[in-house]
Chain A
Amino acid sequence: MQRIMPNAAVEDEKTFLRRVRPQHWKSPVPRSSYDLLIVGGGPAGLAAAESAARLGFSVALVERNRLGGNSLNVGSVPSKALIRTAHVCSTIRGAEDFGALAPGEVALDFSKVMARMRRILTRISAYNSVDDLTTLGVDIFFGDARFESTDALVVGSTRLRFEKALIATGARPKTPDIPGLEQTGYRTSATIFEMETPPKRLAVIGGGPLGCELAQAFCRLGAHVTIVQDEPKFLPREERDAAEILSRSMARDGVEIRLNTAVVGARREGGDKILETVDSGVKNDVHADEIVLCVGRAANVEGLDLEIAGVSFEAVQGIKVDDFLCSSNPRVYAAGDVCGELKFTNAAQTSARIAVRNALVDARQRYDDTLTPWCTFCDPEIAHIGLHVWEARRQSIPIKSFTVMMHDVDRAITEGEDTGFVKIHTAEGTDRILGATIVASRASELINEMAVIMNAGIGMEALAEMVHTYPAQSEAIMLAAQAYRYSTSSRFNAR
């Protein structure tokens, strides 16, 4: 087994590249003009290409690197593979809680962890492959694209004309201007998965979703992790209780947490990479073997000559689009991370499909990410859909939340996964659901029930009647709806 692993890995890599960036790719002869020309082959670009091709339009797709974008290559997929291994390690360490005695300390073979990750990438690449697209009739061009006019761009020496274009170039990790950081050396989400060996000490800068996910995962894989966040809490987009539960969970894992702490410099001493930090005027050093930056993402708009295309943009926020995802050039649309506030794979795919319909069939569909669920894949997971309480209150919408703690849910108790809650936010005085926040071991799954419910316009009254399997963690959703019912009936009783 040991001997055949390298060959298997090589095969995996070959298969992966054949699917996402064939080595000797021969570009097709371009048509005189394409109905839709897509720049970027990430989740948005791929969704758009498939959608447009299935509608019968001529489609060209230009990709600078590999199909799949950040999500497949350096984002959601590899991180989830790593998180799964970390979860296994954590489960083994906690096995005694369940009466299952593990033979000893968890030992990690990092090469196998990474090999598994690459196998997963290869498997999933089958659903985003060059073959799939060409079978659909999509012309694929690999190389850097730049606009030459309002209705044409060039890829290398090839000129491509279009009726409509969709820019889906995504975003890349932001790099803050920290003195000494470049010389000290760091990794980002784009390079962290290239490591051959895990760092013994890892310093994570940034406490957003990715920073928290990586911090907890590497800690569970055995690294001493310090996470430095300049805000007073993690996950600024999430509500305080959710962020604090996660903070305590990470601390329990052993992550060293430095909140409200700014990184003001970096340096190398011997083999150590050192972050210089300041917390409320108090200076400290964080020593690490590796530094990873997770401070947000900047839209990929450079080198496209967007000015020539008449497409307005901002350096970090990206392309400016209207509610219909159309840019300042009526021929050019944008979708995904290059223009969206929610930089998630599902948001990219959804916006791309809407942009295609608006661009090609005059659908005039507004893109509204209110009902796009998202999740931070820590343990516990933190998921959200719809309005936050503070958003509703800012809009003067009276709002009331119905909360069920996971430690009151039978299945969560039996599973030993009783940290977290389900909160359903309602328009007060009605059973209309405005949003939901879920903190649970499988919040990423539970939130999808809320997505269906909200998209279907189902209210709390009807939700309280929906029979769920017993025992199941999703029962928490039904219990929250039943709390609504009890709340309203007691009010009637009081009268």
Chain B
Amino acid sequence: MDDWAQLSDDALVTRLQRAAFSYLLEYANADTGLVADTSRRGSPCSIAVVGFALSCYPIAVQNGWLSRADGAARTLKVLRFLSRSTQSDAPDATGYKGFYYHFLDMQTGRRVWQCELSLIDTALLIAGVLVAGSYFDGGNEENEIRELADALYRRVDWHWAQAGASGLSQGWKPECGFLHYGWEGYNEATILYVLGLGSPTFPLAPSGYVTWGLTYQWENLLGHDVLYSGPLFTHLFSHAWIDFRGIRDAFMREKSSDYFENTKSAVAIHREYGERNPYCFRAYSRNFWGVTAGDGPANVEIREDGRDRRFFGYMSRGVPYGPDDGTIAPWAMLATLPFTTEAALAGTRSLLDTYPQVCIQDRFSSGFNPTLQSRTGGWLSEGWYGLDQGLLVMMIENHRTGLIWEIMRRCGPIRDGLRNAGFEGGWL
């Protein structure tokens, strides 16, 4: 497809959004409703992708890509599966204490790869569950959607996940208990804390959010004031569900800012970094940015222009402290549409114009690195990742109609969680 340049901004964005959404249909299991982490053969399900899919079905219904009945049926299928799958401390269960393992077998729903019971990925899943429970407000099947959504949320034992400490671990494994990794510094975990704090059954202690906030760093970086976090996705994930415009917690009140404005600053830093291009990566500019978590060229080392270049596989990349190996996520610029519309469109158009290979079948690849040259003009991640597609669908919709933000503004657990985290003002 090479006619992007002829499309209006709205037509281009709509086309890309619909193509991204089609991933969630194409890679969903017909029996379980689980959605594959990637389009690669044999990929397991990522529970976070399921959360994005649940959030995107209402978008598809609103846009006429799915009938309401189809959207409800798909939603119900996965909610029933989640509800009935095994919750225990067995190493091959689907989840434990209401949380879910990060990766599941697409057919059976059993844990794969000895992965962790993931707090953040469960939060992204549950956020999607709550979107479903809020959006499908009709009778018949939609009654069951609401009941299951409520039950799934109430079942999560957020308090257990605090493990007697103030902050949260990043996960748990039956083999070793809670992981040592905690949440240090601002990142995508706001949605996790908000959901945990809003729970009517097993809430997090509010001190957990306060403790996390103590690790925040307010910096003047590349000329911009920002609550720092390096990877771009950390400034986007929680925003896919929550409209942070005008609502402030204690930290943002102190800084006279909000998290929405903060993401705008983060984008400005990413663009400025792209322009400065300190490590002389190919293509970096004010219109070529988007350093974030995603696929990468794997562990390759080359020597180029008198310097060693070291590349990484799937990892969380960040700006300006790194790691940065010249890989960007081609979807990332467009995902900032609600925050910095002009920059998002300028960057996306420039990317599509210069490197059209990053968008096969109108879907963005997870990673692209033009510094590592190949016959196709740079290293390109194979296929697609569900997280990227789901986030893009939601961010574009929030920009165009504010649908998910509107749904979640009315969602009790979100409102309670935000208030318990100390947010106030604006729509809250």
Give the B-binding residues of A (Cβ under 8 A).
96-99, 230-232, 239-241, 244-245, 248, 252, 260, 278, 280-282, 389-390, 393-394, 398-403, 405, 407-408, 418, 421, 423, 428, 483-484, 486-487
A407, B272: Cα distance in complex, Å: 13
What B residues does A252 contact at CB under 8 A?
A: 308, 310
A245, B222: Cα distance in complex, Å: 18
Give the residue name and chain of the B residue nearest to A94 (CB): B308
* A401-B217 CB under 8 A given contacts A248-B323, A407-B278, A407-B279: yes
Question: Is B116's beta carbon under 8 Å from chain A?
Answer: yes
Q: Are A282 and B114 in contact (CB under 8 A)?
A: yes
Known: A241-B321, A280-B175. 16 other contacts (CB 8 A): A97-B308, A98-B306, A230-B180, A231-B180, A239-B217, A248-B323, A252-B308, A260-B180, A281-B114, A281-B175, A389-B216, A393-B216, A401-B217, A401-B219, A408-B278, A483-B223
* A428-B278 CB under 8 A given contacts A232-B180, A280-B175, A280-B176: no
CB-contacts of B130-187 with A (<8 A): 173-176, 179-182, 184-185
Give the residue name and chain of the B residue nearest to A428 (CB): B218
Q: Are B176 and A99 in contact (CB under 8 A)?
A: no
Give the residue name and chain of the B residue nearest to A491 (CB): B225
What B residues does A487 contact at CB under 8 A?
A: 220, 225
Question: Is B245's beta carbon under 8 Å from chain A?
Answer: no
Partner among B116, B173, B176, B219 whose Cβ is within 8 Å of the Cβ of A423: B219
Question: Is B213's beta carbon under 8 Å from chain A?
Answer: yes
Q: Are B254 and A398 in contact (CB under 8 A)?
A: yes
Give the residue name and chain of the B residue nearest to A439 (CB): B321
What B residues does A393 contact at CB under 8 A?
A: 213-216
A407, B174: Cα distance in complex, Å: 44
What B residues does A398 contact at CB under 8 A?
A: 254
Over the window 189-221 of chain B, the binary record of Cβ atoms lying under 8 Å from chain A Cβ atoms (1 yes, 0 no) is 000000000000000000000000111111111
Interface CB pairs A-B, < 8 A, 19: A97-B306, A230-B180, A232-B181, A241-B321, A244-B321, A245-B321, A280-B175, A281-B175, A282-B114, A389-B217, A390-B214, A393-B213, A398-B254, A400-B219, A400-B220, A400-B225, A401-B217, A403-B221, A487-B220
Q: Which of A231, A393, A418, A487 has the most CB of B within 10 A?
A: A393
What A residues does B225 contact at CB under 8 A?
A: 400, 487
Q: Are A99 and B306 in contact (CB under 8 A)?
A: yes
What B residues does A399 contact at CB under 8 A?
A: 218
Partner among B176, B278, B279 whose Cβ is within 8 Å of the Cβ of A278: B176
Partner among B175, B214, B220 whose Cβ is within 8 Å of the Cβ of A483: B220
Measured between C-beta atoms, what is the minimum distance from B336 to chain A in Å?
Answer: 22
Please give me the 5 A-B residue pairs with the lowest Cβ-Cβ distance, nearest first.
A281-B175, A407-B278, A281-B176, A241-B321, A401-B219
A219, B230: Cα distance in complex, Å: 29
A99, B305: Cα distance in complex, Å: 10
Give the residue name and chain of the B residue nearest to A251 (CB): B310
Give the residue name and chain of the A residue nearest to B175 (CB): A281
Q: Are A280 and B221 in contact (CB under 8 A)?
A: no
What B residues does A245 contact at CB under 8 A?
A: 321-322
* A402-B278 CB under 8 A given contacts A248-B323, A281-B173: no
* A400-B278 CB under 8 A given contacts A230-B180, A405-B320: no
Q: Are A280 and B320 in contact (CB under 8 A)?
A: no
A389, B173: Cα distance in complex, Å: 32
Measured between C-beta atoms, what is the minimum distance from A339 to chain B in Å?
Answer: 28
A394, B185: Cα distance in complex, Å: 14
What A residues does B308 contact at CB under 8 A?
A: 97, 252
Q: Are B278 and A418 in contact (CB under 8 A)?
A: yes
What A residues does B180 contact at CB under 8 A?
A: 230-232, 260
A248, B312: Cα distance in complex, Å: 11
Measured between C-beta atoms, what is the minimum distance from B357 to chain A in Å?
Answer: 29
A230, B176: Cα distance in complex, Å: 13
Over the window 374-385 of chain B, the binary record of Cβ atoms lying under 8 Å from chain A Cβ atoms (1 yes, 0 no) is 000000000000
CB-contacts of B263-277 with A (<8 A): 276
A245, B308: Cα distance in complex, Å: 16
Give the residue name and chain of the A residue nearest to B273 (CB): A405
What A residues does B176 contact at CB under 8 A?
A: 278, 280-281
What A residues does B84 contact at CB under 8 A?
A: none
What B residues does A394 contact at CB under 8 A?
A: 214
Q: Which of A239, A280, A389, A418 has the most CB of B within 10 A?
A: A280
Q: Are B220 and A484 in contact (CB under 8 A)?
A: yes
What B residues does A405 contact at CB under 8 A?
A: 222, 278, 320-321
A389, B184: Cα distance in complex, Å: 12
CB-contacts of B213-268 with A (<8 A): 213-223, 225, 230, 254
Question: Is B307's beta carbon under 8 Å from chain A?
Answer: yes
Over the window 301-343 of chain B, the binary record of Cβ atoms lying under 8 Å from chain A Cβ atoms (1 yes, 0 no) is 0000011101000000000111100000000000000000000
